[in-house]
Structure 1
Amino acid sequence: MKIYPQMISLFDISLRLNGFPVKKAKAELDEIVNLSEEEYVLFLQNKKKEIVDFHLKNNPFYKNLVRNKTVEKWEYLPILNKQNLQKPLEERLSKGYSRKDVYVNKTSGSSGTPFVFAKDKYSHALTWASNIMRFGWFGIDFNHSYQARFYGIPMDFIGYQKERLKDFLTHRFRFPVFDLSDEVLEKFLKKFKTKKFDYINGYTSSIVLFAKYLERKNIVLNEVCPTLKACFVTSEMLFESDKKLLEKQFGIPIINEYGASELDLIAFENPNGEWQINAETLFVEILDENNKILPYGEEGRIVITSLFNKAHPFIRYEIGDIGILDEKSTPQKPILKKLIGRTNDIAILPSGKKSPGLTFYYVTKSIIEDDGNVKEFIIKQTKLDSFEIEYVSDFELNKTQIQKIEKAISLYLEPNLNFSFNRKTVLGRSKSGKLKQFKSYL
């Protein structure tokens, strides 16, 4: 039995027109999902060997990272980190691939270490197939379900129009999250009263702020929008207290997802309430400080391998988070028991406007350059109108770059904010070793 309805849709057509073979990807994902436990173990073993062999043969960047050594065991492979990847993309692409025939994007920089990455089109099609399958667990069909999207949006004309076109093609209505004042949240609520949304998807902190607004107004969302089926939160940690608030004020299931744009959905809460790891396109390990693989139940660094991406190596890639795999995990069905990290503060501005920390993703796009100059950065709010940007770079930001950043700040936040730029040799980290991109000291 197939897990996907065979239908023509605007969503599927838009993927195909962009060169993503989603039909083939859905078919392969369907085969992987239906493997027996024994077949899956063999599949995983073969895919790990296949992807390593491919990149050792076709990717000079990865071959140099391995240092041309003969690697006899998986655990001897080097750990790839974000600092390794901060060099021009052309130096990291596999032979036979160019920018013209791959999917290229930038990481959000939420970890403080941004870079440009690539996926071959089949690998990216598998990412979409994975999304379609998992959202389908909760009765959501990307072809027909109407999404209320709590995300940012580029403010330049071309970027804005591109996102609005994507919103149209993927059947979603966007609620920009740069301003979450009560006046704006009231406008959000009016949209829910007039539109037949099927589900909510977006940044955790923004959705939680909306739920707090509903709580103050004593409103349950699915009473004013009865078509709502589920809410999916992403990009930031969902605390248990916030989940209870969302369930109470929305009146629908709250599903927690954990992903990375350069990889795929990493873990997705299944209908049984388990945070199920994506074992179809990824291989997830938990390592200690000496890169030793830890058993289920022990806390360590999350390291991930993309099993299908041939355009760019993500093999034993340290994502920057700490986690625990549940003791009841199996190779075919790993369960993420605990994730440490992925939280963002809220910036409160002089006008009274509230903006989630992830707003700074859109600001810091101004300093994310493909030449890899800026290695890491953190942003601190010290006063209502004052912020500090600390960054590590090969070269100090020049006047033109700083003006570009200040212009983006005025566009995405508000004018007349004061920013200081401090170049550092090293940035302070939390005990977990993770950088937090934004921190408010108010």
Structure 2
Amino acid sequence: MSIDFKIKDFAYPAEILKLRSFLEKSQWFTRERLEYYQLKRLRLMLSHAYKNVPYYSELFARLKLTPSDFRSIEDLKKVPPLAKKDLKENFHKLVAKNAKRFNPILCRTSGTSGHPIEFYLDKNSNILEFCYYWRCWSWAGYRLGMSFMEFSFHHFLNTSIKEVACHSLLTNRLIINPAQISCESIDKIVGNIKRYKPMFVKGTPSAIYIFSVLLEKKGCMGGLPFKGVFTTGELVLPYQKERIEKVLNCKILDSYGHMERAIAVSQCPQGTYHINSEYGILEVETGEKPSSDKGITGQIIGTSLHNFAMPLIRYKIGDLIELDRRHDNRCVCGRGLPAIKKIYGRTQDVIVTKEGRFITNIFPFFDLWKNILWFQLVQEDIDKFKLMLVKDSGFEDKGIDEQLYTLKSILGKDAKIELRFFKLDEINIEGGNKYRPIVSRVDVAKFI
């Protein structure tokens, strides 16, 4: 879940403090009390969607349902799941007629699905996101205003993609460009760390892992100020966790979510992944993987409890998780938030450039390329790349050269990019059934 907080989007101090105070208390609620809160929010959202969202007004009429027919969370199953295809095809019908009242912001993501999705997020969901991060970061000792370091490719797309690092005084944040990590840039990054003394690190596991490996190689492990690492956006693999915690000398707290903000999962200091029940309702649609006696495995379905501008009810997220069957088995941390046994989420390959840079999470670049239905970038060799695209209606060929020039400036001046267009039914997903936006056939270990 790549989030770049902008002050103007979160300038609601009274509402933020009120929700933050509630979340600090609610994490210790019993399961029954959390479900009571969810049901209360769900009824509010269903009533709003029934009256103000054309898609749900028509759907409920067709199913002969009214908000009063939902007396429990289990009753949500009366509503058919909303697939990403449904969101795309019914975009305007899913926007509330009174959306402007909630200060909506149009967002777009293509990162891990390969299929661009547009949606609205409103004031309430922004406040929720801010408070959610505030709470789960506080589990590692973070307090609002403390300095932190973030690996963010998004930020440098709007400034200079060749810049290694910059510091935001307003957010007390040292921002590192994951497309510029190399043996040569490590000294500059370490210099910035010594200057600004960030206490926490945020980023994808692949970016922080490469950073940690190069730190160790350069012998720059001593005296680092970090007290915690917050990972998001990908699965944390065991070898990554071991190396990161060893080099940075602090624990990882991982989190899982998605930009559409229907559900959120975060890891407590004891290592348990907790569903943030106040954020949204998480269901599991079984059938893809066998369930065990101790766990229930299936696809994630999420229902937003705070985004009134564009409510997503029973939204199919697509990733697989395994829930703990023992609902009454409270984590040793004492929190009442339900536990997840395992997330079968996303992984990313690392691109190695001829200049010795290690590029992670380049996919935000494709968020800027409009009217693409699907993409995949494959690194065939150190300087050879294959870019595969599926056009959507409205795609303009005249912008191709400019986009390829920008992509080449990221991959390196010697990069050779073969561009190929496909129809949606022609694509052959690289790397098996699980879609990967970036595929590298170069052995990274040989260059570290």
Confirm or deny that 1:44 pairs with 2:28: no
Query: Which amino acid counterpart does residue 228 of structure 1 have in structure 2?
Result: F
Confirm or deny that 1:435 pairs with 2:435: yes
Partner of 1:201: 202
Separation in 1, partners of 2:207, 2:166: 23
Separation in 1, partners of 2:160, 2:303: 31
Cα deviation, 1:10-69, whole Å, max 9, x if unaligned, reads: x99766537993133324434644544433222222322332232132111344566732
The Cα of 1:239 is off from its aligned counterpart by 0.7
Separation in 1, partners of 2:290, 2:82: 15
Cα deviation, 1:151-173, whole Å, max 9, x if unaligned, reads: 1144466799xxx9993322101
Separation in 1, partners of 2:249, 2:307: 39
Alpha-carbon RMSD across the aligned residues, in angstroms, is: 3.3
SS, match of residue 238 in structure 1? coil
Partner of 2:423: 424
Confirm or deny that 1:337 pairs with 2:356: no
Partner of 2:139: 137
The Cα of 1:388 is off from its aligned counterpart by 2.5
Separation in 2, partners of 1:117, 1:291: 30
Query: Which amino acid counterpart does residue 186 of structure 1 have in structure 2?
Result: D
Confirm or deny that 1:172 pairs with 2:173: yes
Cα deviation, 1:319-344, whole Å, max 9, x if unaligned, reads: 22111012334595221211113110
Partner of 1:4: none
Cα deviation, 1:72-115, whole Å, max 9, x if unaligned, reads: 53213121222222258555321111499213322252221221
1:50-89 map, 5 Å: 50-64=44-58, 68-71=62-65, 73-86=75-88
Partner of 1:318: 316
Q: For the structure 1 residues 350 and 16, does the alpha-carbon distance in structure 2 shift closer, same or farther, using more than 3 Å as the test? A: closer
Count of residues in correspondence between the two structures: 419
CA contact (8 A) 2:262 2:303 kept: no
SS, match of residue 379 in structure 1? strand
Partner of 1:6: none
CA contact (8 A) 1:57 1:63 kept: yes
Separation in 2, partners of 1:67, 1:436: 39
SS, match of residue 359 in structure 1? coil
Query: Which amino acid counterpart does residue 232 of structure 1 have in structure 2?
Result: F
Cα deviation, 1:264-302, whole Å, max 9, x if unaligned, reads: 771111022111111111111111248999996022111
Query: Which amino acid counterpart does residue 82 of structure 1 have in structure 2?
Result: K
Q: For the structure 1 residues 412 and 81, does the alpha-carbon distance in structure 2 shift closer, same or farther, using more than 3 Å as the test? A: farther
CA contact (8 A) 1:192 1:224 kept: no
Partner of 2:399: 401
Partner of 1:298: 296
CA contact (8 A) 2:151 2:177 kept: yes
Query: Which amino acid counterpart does residue 113 of structure 2 have in structure 1?
Result: S
Q: TM-score, normalised by structure 2?
A: 0.83
Partner of 1:360: 363
Correspondence for 1:23 among 14, 17, 23:
17
The Cα of 1:181 is off from its aligned counterpart by 1.6
SS, match of residue 50 in structure 1? helix
Partner of 1:8: none
Q: For the structure 1 residues 388 and 66, does the alpha-carbon distance in structure 2 shift closer, same or farther, using more than 3 Å as the test? A: farther
Separation in 2, partners of 1:98, 1:434: 38
Partner of 1:3: none
CA contact (8 A) 2:27 2:337 kept: no
CA contact (8 A) 1:131 1:265 kept: no
Q: For the structure 1 residues 422 and 262, does the alpha-carbon distance in structure 2 shift closer, same or farther, using more than 3 Å as the test? A: same
Q: For the structure 1 residues 56 and 93, does the alpha-carbon distance in structure 2 shift closer, same or farther, using more than 3 Å as the test? A: same
Separation in 1, partners of 2:32, 2:393: 52
Partner of 2:103: 101
Any gaps of 5 or more consecutive residues in structure 1? 1-10
Separation in 2, partners of 1:157, 1:376: 23
Q: For the structure 1 residues 43 and 166, does the alpha-carbon distance in structure 2 shift closer, same or farther, using more than 3 Å as the test? A: farther
Any gaps of 5 or more consecutive residues in structure 2? 70-74, 331-335, 443-448
SS, match of residue 261 in structure 1? coil
Q: For the structure 1 residues 48 and 157, does the alpha-carbon distance in structure 2 shift closer, same or farther, using more than 3 Å as the test? A: closer
SS, match of residue 169 in structure 1? coil
User: More displaced, 69-78 or 125-134?
Assistant: 69-78
CA contact (8 A) 1:324 1:339 kept: yes
The Cα of 1:390 is off from its aligned counterpart by 2.8
Correspondence for 1:374 among 369, 372, 375:
372
CA contact (8 A) 1:232 1:256 kept: yes
Partner of 1:125: 127
Query: Which amino acid counterpart does residue 360 of structure 1 have in structure 2?
Result: F
Separation in 1, partners of 2:269, 2:38: 25
